[in-house]
Chain A
Amino acid sequence: MENILTVTQLNNLIKAAFDNVPALQNVCVRGELSNYKLYPSGHHYFTLKDAEGSLKCVLFKGNAWSLRFKPQNGMSVLAVGRVSVYPRDGAYQLYCTRLIPDGAGDLQMAFDQLKERLWREGLFDQAHKQALPRFPHRIGIVTSPAGAAVHDMLRILGKRWPLSKVILLPVRVQGEEAAGEIARAIAYANREALCELLIVGRGGGSMEDLWAFNEEPVARAICASKIPVISAVGHEPDVTISDFAADLRAATPSNAAELAVPDRAELRARLEGLQRQMAAALQRQAQSARGRLEALRKRPVLKDPLRPVQDRRQTLDRLTERLAAAEASVISGQKTRLTRLAASLDAMSPLKVLARGYAVVSDERGIVTKASVLIPGREVKIQFQDDAVSAVIRE
């Protein structure tokens, strides 16, 4: 023995061998469910059995979103997934990605596989969904020009919103050529910017009849469309890949026509509503203007417009009065002063002194106020009240 392995090494070797077999990477197994157990972790564990053998399986929480039914022991199911080894137990098992009830048929399987693939690719993401125009001016309809579906759609469009133009893009809606024709029509409408809205669909039928709308080229054309797409395939319960890919799924072609356009009856009501709103708003404004006018009318300036003038007039009169009074008092003050000055002037007059018996002596040098300056023998003048006389100084 030259090469001794540990258990883990061997299990890993076996795991690698399993993982290298392409046929084991995507298998679909039919079997009967047993030992089914859902763990609190959200993982599903079960065994698939048939008459001779059994197979351990696990459906992890991350894949359980696709589970549309409640698994029960004894149920016949199809399990899709890959086979690999769980090294801890040294056991191989099926790692399920899908678990579906048996008997759904090949088409259902193909449907599920494509749906899952496109879903994983993100083709159905809500983020890709485009809003429908409020008023589509031109509506492209990709459908068969014959049959009830187109008739229903045109009737409803004509009733609800006859302002649009409808452009039919006639295609086959079943058979081998259908998917290609539908996809090309959608691409053509986009290339030519033919319309603001596309309705893609057909009337009811079997799953085989509707199959074109479950094909990948149609789904991809719808996803790639820059023109918003309403999918309108079959009857209410029919769900197609196109429905997932479209911006909006309609239950039926008639429903698509209803979703595509506004209802003119509703718009008539809306117009009336707007007119009422408009009238009410204008009336409110007129009323508030009238109210303002009333309030202004009550203001004193408008009630007695001459009042401010009169008030000012009165002030002016008062001021004039005060000015006159002030003037008078100044003048009388000055007069009194003048009288007083005249009186004192009079008191100081030399004539008044002479009247009291004094006389003024003067010589050629002027008035003599001292006896010592007199020179004997010289003549002086003596002024009396009434007249002057000459005198000679004797000694």
Chain B
Amino acid sequence: MPKSKSKSFEENLNRLEEIVRQLEDGSAPLEESMKLFREGTALAASCGKLLDEAELEIVKLTKGPEGTIVEAPFEHEDLT
């Protein structure tokens, strides 16, 4: 299973929060701080992209052949 968008977002956000903490701590050398800043900016951008582009994935559990339970697409009109 590919990593979910929500999980990517959470990981990126956690890393970004960690970077902000490190930068505010100010103990890293300036060069390292600039590297962190660049990484943080990229993380924020990818988080923003996830937020902007995501579409809710909806599935419905249903009984498949031989009584097994399988995922099926869920058709629902007008979610906006």
Residues of A within 8 A of B (CB): 134-138, 145, 150-151, 154-155, 157-159, 161-170, 188, 264, 267-268, 270-271, 274-275, 277-279, 281-282, 284-286, 288-289
Any A CB within 8 A of the CB of B57: yes
B62 partner residues in chain A, CB cutoff 8 A: 170
* Bound: A271/B16 CA distance, A: 9
User: Given that A134-B10, A284-B26 are contacting pairs, would A158 and B80 also be in contact in the complex, using a CB cutoff of 8 Å?
Assistant: yes
Nearest Cβ on chain A to B63's Cβ, whole angstroms? 10
B16 partner residues in chain A, CB cutoff 8 A: 271, 274
A159 partner residues in chain B, CB cutoff 8 A: 80
A135 partner residues in chain B, CB cutoff 8 A: 6-7, 9-10
CB–CB A158/B79 < 8 A: yes
* Bound: A267/B5 CA distance, A: 14
Nearest Cβ on chain A to B33's Cβ, whole angstroms? 5
- Chain B residue at minimal CB-CB distance from A159: B80
* Bound: A136/B7 CA distance, A: 8
CB–CB B61/A163 < 8 A: no
* Bound: A279/B37 CA distance, A: 7
A134 partner residues in chain B, CB cutoff 8 A: 10
A-B contact pairs, 18 of them (CB 8 A): A135-B9, A137-B7, A154-B56, A157-B56, A163-B51, A164-B6, A167-B61, A267-B13, A267-B47, A268-B48, A274-B17, A275-B40, A278-B20, A278-B37, A281-B33, A282-B23, A284-B26, A289-B30
Count residues of chain B with CB under 8 A from any CB of chain A: 40
CB–CB A169/B10 < 8 A: no
CB–CB A145/B60 < 8 A: yes
Residues of B within 8 A of A (CB): 4-7, 9-10, 13, 16-17, 19-20, 23-24, 26, 30, 33-34, 37, 40-41, 44, 47-48, 50-51, 54-62, 69, 71, 74, 76, 79-80
* Bound: A161/B6 CA distance, A: 9
CB–CB B56/A162 < 8 A: yes
A164 partner residues in chain B, CB cutoff 8 A: 4, 6, 56-57
Contact among B4, B13, B26 for A165, CB-based, below 8 A: B4
Identify the interface centre among A158, A274, A278: most chain B CB within 10 Å of its CB.
A278
CB–CB A277/B20 < 8 A: yes
CB–CB B40/A278 < 8 A: yes
CB–CB A278/B41 < 8 A: yes
Identify the interface centre among A161, A188, A271: most chain B CB within 10 Å of its CB.
A271
CB–CB B58/A162 < 8 A: no
* Bound: A166/B79 CA distance, A: 13
Nearest Cβ on chain B to A172's Cβ, whole angstroms? 14
CB–CB B24/A168 < 8 A: no
* Bound: A158/B57 CA distance, A: 9
* Bound: A285/B26 CA distance, A: 6
* Bound: A157/B71 CA distance, A: 19
Nearest Cβ on chain A to B27's Cβ, whole angstroms? 10
B7 partner residues in chain A, CB cutoff 8 A: 135, 137
* Bound: A168/B57 CA distance, A: 11
A274 partner residues in chain B, CB cutoff 8 A: 16-17, 20, 40, 44
A282 partner residues in chain B, CB cutoff 8 A: 23, 33-34, 37
CB–CB B23/A136 < 8 A: no
- Chain B residue at minimal CB-CB distance from A136: B6
B57 partner residues in chain A, CB cutoff 8 A: 164-166
A284 partner residues in chain B, CB cutoff 8 A: 26
CB–CB B4/A169 < 8 A: no
Contact among A154, A157, A275 for B41, CB-based, below 8 A: A275
Nearest Cβ on chain A to B35's Cβ, whole angstroms? 11
